């Protein structure tokens, strides 16, 4: 089969026709006459002669026949390829054919040998984007959950905040959640330190992290300076990785350890809760942003409400998009697209995995076609300011995820957003995000949204069920 390199060339308009097999599949036939490609070849030969350095001839003086004999076949290949490509894509553009994937050379196009002066016919199979009407209206009813913020939630957030900004304090007797720093020494069966055995001077042990209730009971109430014998495997719940890390030894050697170790308590540290005062307010919210406990609780209530509102909004958008796209029953030229994927991405798609690997690709394509239909049908544009707004929102969400929102300001945001938007991958991601926002905003302006107030526990259960269903659905789809 003669492989095409799709290059643009300037030549006269070629004869091309479309044979539609059905609404989603077709074959474009491109007929190339000698007059389409011969002028390009003559020009290439003439240009090459001017700079060709061929032994026995001065630069630019090699005979045309010699240059043509040496380089003509490659030039012929390039010009025919370019002519076929131009004829194909000009026809697609002029006839406004919305194709999916890229055209694939039809198996009927068989050219064993290229010769100057002959006419050629190329056939390309294409996948055609489906036509469908939008079906989005106020008759589409969806629920948005409103999570009630209760005193219990605020109390828990205050507790977390006080722990986060608490101070580490040395104490004499251990309680749950304390950090105990111990010296561990390997013992023989008689309780004596093994000469050349394993020893570690300061091993941190968080009491609340000890899984064995029996071992934990021996740690609660233990005092600084205490000496005792412990089972090293029980102390670390038989986790060879944890044991090797704590003792500073190679993991394969853990199995050879004596189970008995002498443990000496060097120190005990406890994180005390921060006092509710101006120092805590400033650390948590910024200098003088909050000045009273009532203001703090009000601020936390708003933050909790905002957080759950964002989660509820995401749940709404996810649910409405899945339901509405599914309702449109968008069909695709599956066989063509699978053939194209195998041809284009042979390292990822093959006959053995195509059935499963194609499902998420088809899902993505249906969503893309639906989004495109929304934008075009309603003349919705995605401007540069929309792309930048998406980047700003993404940056804020990243900082918020790590509890660093207070560090953000306009100058920092600009310093992160501007250079990133010059990177193709990042920019593409932000364009997709801006498109999704525009589409979601439009859908929400048309459908009917009913608010329903529920508790935090009820909402988290709904989210968990949604995530579980969506995870399974993703595998099925």
Q: What ranges do the domains of the chain cover? A: 15-128, 141-152+288-476, 167-272
Annotate 102-139 with DSSP letters as a single string. Answer: EEEE-TT---S---TT--EEEEEEEEEPPP------TT
Higher pLDDT, 405 or 166: 166
Of the options 3.40.30.10, 3.20.20.30, 3.40.50.1000, 3.30.70.1050, the CATH number for the domain spanning 15-128: 3.30.70.1050
Residues forming a β-bridge with 181 = 204, 267
Pick the range with the lowest mean pLDDT from 109-113, 281-285, 288-292, 346-350: 109-113
Mean pLDDT of 356-371: 94
Weakest mean pLDDT among 51-55, 243-247, 357-361, 443-447: 51-55
pLDDT at position 56:
61
Q: Are 101 and 340 in contact (CB under 8 A)?
A: yes
115 pLDDT tier (thresholds 50, 70, 90): confident
Q: Which residues pair with 120 in a beta bridge?
A: 32
Question: Under CATH, what is the fold of the domain 167-272?
Answer: Chitinase A; domain 3 (3.10.50)
* pLDDT for 112: 67
**Cβ-Cβ contacts under 8 Å for 300 (sequence gap 6 or more):** 154, 157, 158, 161
Give the pLDDT score at 9. 32
Mean pLDDT of 416-425: 93
Phi, psi angle pair for 454, to nearest 5°: -140, 170
Predicted local distance difference test score (pLDDT) of residue 70: 63
Q: For the chain, how many helices (H) and strands (E)?
A: 14, 11
Quick one: pLDDT at residue 476?
41
pLDDT class of 402 with cuts at 50, 70, 90: low
Q: Which is it for strands 448-454 and 141-147: parallel, antiparallel or unpaired?
A: parallel
Instruction: Give the predicted TM-score (pTM) of the model.
Output: 0.69
Task: Give the C-alpha separation, 469 to 477, whole Å.
Answer: 12
Examine the pLDDT at 356 and tell me if it is beyond 70: yes
> In the chain, what percentage of residues exceed pLDDT 90?
70
Largest CA distance in the chain: 100
Closest CA to 52 of 62, 44, 37, 43: 62
Beta strands, E only, 45-107:
99-105
Instruction: Provide the 3-class DSSP secondary structure of residue 77.
Output: helix
Query: Could you give phi then psi for residue 97, rounded to 5 degrees?
Result: -90, 120
Q: Which two tokens stand for residue 21?
A: 């097999």
Q: Does residue 7 have a pLDDT over 50?
A: no
Tell me what percent of the residues of the chain surpass a pLDDT of 70: 88
| Mean predicted confidence (pLDDT) in 394-416 | 79
Question: CA 177, 178, 184: angle at the middle one, nearest 5?
Answer: 120
Q: If you average pLDDT over residues 322-349, what whole number do you get? A: 94
Q: Which range has the worst mean pLDDT, 114-128, 314-328, 383-397?
A: 114-128
Tens of pLDDT, residue by residue over 31-46, are: 988 888 788 777 776 7
Q: How confident is the model at residue 12 (pLDDT cuts 50, 70, 90)?
A: very low
185 DSSP β-pair partners? 199, 262
Q: What was the pLDDT predicted at 118?
A: 85
Query: What is the band of 72 on the pLDDT scale with cuts at 50, 70, 90?
Result: low
Give the CATH class of 141-152+288-476.
mainly alpha
For residue 14, is pLDDT > 80? no
pLDDT at 92 over 90: yes
**145-190 per-position pLDDT tens digit:** 999 999 999 999 999 999 889 988 999 999 998 999 999 999 999 9
User: What pLDDT score does 10 carry?
Assistant: 35
pLDDT in tens, 213-224: 999 999 999 999
pLDDT at 79: 83
Radius of gyration of the chain (CA): 35
Return the bridge partners of 169, or none.
270
Alpha carbon of residue 299 to chain centroid: 32
């Amino acid at each position: 089969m003669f492989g095409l390199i799709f290059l643009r060339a300037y030549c006269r308009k070629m004869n091309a026709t479309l044979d539609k097999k059905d609404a989603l599949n077709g074959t474009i036939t491109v007929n190339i006459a000698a007059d389409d490609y011969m002028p390009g070849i003559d020009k290439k030969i003439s240009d090459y002669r001017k700079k060709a350095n061929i032994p026995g001839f001065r630069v630019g003086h090699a005979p045309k026949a010699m240059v043509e004999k040496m380089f003509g076949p490659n030039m012929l290949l390039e010009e025919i390829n370019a002519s076929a490509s131009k004829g194909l894509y000009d026809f697609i553009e002029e006839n406004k054919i919305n194709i999916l994937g890229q055209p694939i050379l039809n198996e009927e196009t068989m050219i064993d040998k290229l010769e100057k002066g002959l006419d050629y016919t190329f056939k390309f199979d294409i996948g055609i984007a489906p036509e469908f009407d939008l079906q989005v209206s106020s008759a589409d009813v969806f629920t948005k959950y409103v999570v009630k913020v209760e005193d219990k939630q605020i109390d828990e957030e205050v507790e977390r905040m006080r722990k986060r900004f608490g101070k580490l304090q040395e104490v004499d007797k251990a309680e749950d959640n304390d950090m105990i720093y111990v010296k561990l020494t390997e013992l023989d069966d008689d309780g004596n330190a093994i000469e050349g055995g394993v020893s570690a001077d300061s091993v941190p042990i968080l009491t609340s992290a000890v899984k064995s209730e029996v071992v934990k009971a021996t740690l609660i109430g233990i005092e600084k300076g205490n000496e005792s014998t412990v089972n090293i495997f029980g102390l670390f719940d038989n986790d060879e990785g944890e044991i090797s890390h704590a003792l500073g030894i190679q993991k394969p050697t853990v199995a050879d350890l004596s189970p008995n170790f002498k443990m000496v308590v060097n120190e005990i540290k406890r994180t005390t809760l921060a006092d509710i005062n101006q120092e805590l307010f400033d650390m948590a919210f910024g200098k003088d942003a909050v000045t009273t406990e009532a203001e703090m609780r009000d601020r936390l209530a708003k933050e909790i409400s905002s957080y759950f509102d964002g989660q509820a909004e995401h749940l709404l958008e996810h649910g409405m998009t899945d339901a509405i796209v599914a309702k449109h029953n968008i069909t695709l030229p599956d066989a063509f697209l699978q053939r194209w994927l195998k041809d284009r991405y042979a390292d990822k798609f093959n006959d053995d995995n195509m059935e499963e690997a194609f499902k998420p690709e088809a899902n993505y394509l249906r969503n893309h076609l639906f989004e495109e239909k929304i934008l075009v049908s309603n003349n919705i544009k995605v401007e540069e300011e929309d792309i930048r707004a998406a980047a700003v929102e993404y940056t804020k969400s990243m900082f918020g995820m790590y509890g660093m929102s207070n560090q953000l300001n306009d100058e920092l945001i600009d310093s992160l957003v501007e250079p990133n938007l010059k990177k193709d991958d990042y920019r593409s991601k932000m364009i997709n995000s801006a498109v999704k926002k525009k589409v979601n905003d439009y859908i929400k302006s048309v459908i009917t949204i009913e608010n329903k107030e529920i508790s935090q526990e009820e909402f988290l259960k709904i989210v968990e069920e949604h995530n579980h269903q969506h995870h399974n659905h993703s595998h099925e789809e």
